[in-house]
């Protein structure tokens, strides 16, 4: 599919609390290093961020623990985009921590979350954070247990004016219900995709009923591709990644996408996926066979 003149607005919009964002956003994690683990090129990363905003992206997902030996996602965002556009929403997350060598530390205790919030504020050059997700667990391991004490600590920081809105990440339906009794939840961010953690289909549905944004990460990750995805991609002159992003956005008007890349050309392709419209037959084909290798 053509990517010329396609902007993030083609995917439509959704509300994160009182902020309106285009449903096609950007994830900053891949800005910090290359696929082989070497540090990314600083100038190229800054170019990608500025190009994303030029293409209408007004929702960027980041975290203080997104860093490589020489790069920090938050500081790249600060360098590229400060002073920030009025409509730009920066979502960050707290909970996990990493030591200087990159190893994950035990999950932060409630009393440690203020320090993590303040570190994000410092790196981004902000006096408040638009959205903060409490991430349960480290790495990609699905979190378990109560989040009440930690989410309650973030709710206090929201009341103090350091945070505008709250979300949760790597969670279950039970976590959402628990968090909603403490403070409003504007988004849920889980790993989810066409062939990934489809057990969260019900969570996606419930989020839609409650007006909560569902924000999948790693929605286009994978090492192989199914015949169904390839067939739909060929029919639209699109890439398989664009089809997977389009499928994600078709899950509901409350579903956002935050594909990340350090490649300016891939960025343009990802944004163009917001304009890709799949037919009911194509969606049925993808749902029935799209995850097959």
pLDDT of residue 223: 53
**pLDDT digit string (tens) for 77-131?**
999 999 999 999 999 999 998 888 888 888 899 999 999 999 999 999 999 999 9
Segment 161-190 shows an average pLDDT of 97
- Domains plus CATH for the chain? 17-223+256-263 (3.20.20.100)
CA 292 to chain centre: 25
pTM: 0.95
Active-site hit among 66, 82, 84, 192? 66
Contact in structure between 170 and 143 (CB atoms under 8 Å) = yes
SS3 letters for the chain?
A: CCCCCCCHHHHCEEEECCEEEECECEECHHHCECCCCCECCHHHHHHHHHHHHHCCCCEEECCCCCECCCCEHHHHHHHHHCCCCCCCEEEEEECCEECCCCCEECCCCHHHHHHHHHHHHHHHCCCCEEEEEEECCCCCCCCCCCCHHHHHHHHHHHHCCCEEEEEEECCCHHHHHHHHCCCCEEEEECECECCECHHHHHHHHHHHHHCCEECCECCCCCCCCCHHHHHHHHHCCCCHHHHHHHHHHCCCCCECECCCCCCHHHHHHHHHHHHCCCCHHHHHHHHHHCCCC
Segment 170-198 shows an average pLDDT of 95
The helix/strand/coil state of 156 is helix
**pLDDT digit string (tens) for 223-269?**
567 899 999 999 999 999 999 999 999 999 999 999 999 999 999 99
**pLDDT digit string (tens) for 54-70?**
999 999 999 999 999 89
66 among known catalytic residues: yes
pLDDT of residue 3: 52
Supply the mean pLDDT for the chain. 93
Query: How far apart are alpha carbons 107 and 224 in whole angstroms?
Result: 33
Contact in structure between 150 and 182 (CB atoms under 8 Å) = no
**pLDDT digit string (tens) for 159-168?**
999 999 999 9
Tracing tokens 């300016």 back to the chain, one arrives at 264
pLDDT of residue 187: 98
**pLDDT at 143 > cutoff 90:** no
């Amino acid at each position: 599919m053509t990517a010329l003149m396609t902007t993030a607005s083609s995917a439509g919009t959704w509300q994160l609390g009182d902020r309106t964002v285009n449903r096609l956003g950007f994830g900053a994690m891949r800005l910090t290093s290359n696929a082989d683990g070497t540090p990314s090129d600083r100038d190229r990363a800054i170019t990608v961020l500025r190009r994303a905003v030029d293409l209408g992206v007004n929702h960027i997902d980041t975290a203080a623990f997104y860093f490589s030996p020489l790069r920090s996602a938050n500081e790249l965002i600060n360098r590229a985009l400060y002073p920030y556009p009025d409509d730009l929403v920066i979502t960050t997350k707290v909970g996990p921590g990493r030591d200087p060598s990159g190893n994950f530390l035990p999950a932060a205790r409630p009393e440690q979350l203020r320090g993590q919030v303040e570190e994000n504020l410092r790196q981004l050059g902000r006096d408040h954070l638009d959205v903060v997700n409490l991430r349960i667990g480290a790495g990609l391991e699905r979190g378990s247990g109560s989040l009440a004490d930690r989410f309650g600590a973030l709710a206090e920081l929201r009341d103090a004016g350091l945070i505008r809105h709250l979300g949760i990440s790597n969670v279950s339906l039970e976590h959402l219900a628990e968090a909603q009794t403490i403070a409003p939840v504007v988004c849920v961010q889980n790993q989810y995709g066409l062939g990934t953690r489809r057990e969260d289909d019900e969570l996606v549905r419930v989020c839609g009923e409650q007006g909560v944004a569902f924000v999948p990460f790693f929605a286009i990750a994978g090492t192989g591709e199914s015949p169904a995805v390839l067939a739909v991609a060929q029919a639209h002159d699109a890439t398989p990644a664009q089809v997977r992003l389009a499928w994600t956005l078709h899950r509901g008007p409350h579903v956002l996408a935050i594909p990340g890349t350090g490649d300016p050309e891939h960025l343009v392709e990802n944004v163009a996926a917001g304009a890709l419209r799949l037919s009911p037959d194509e969606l049925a084909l993808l749902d029935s066979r799209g995850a097959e290798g």
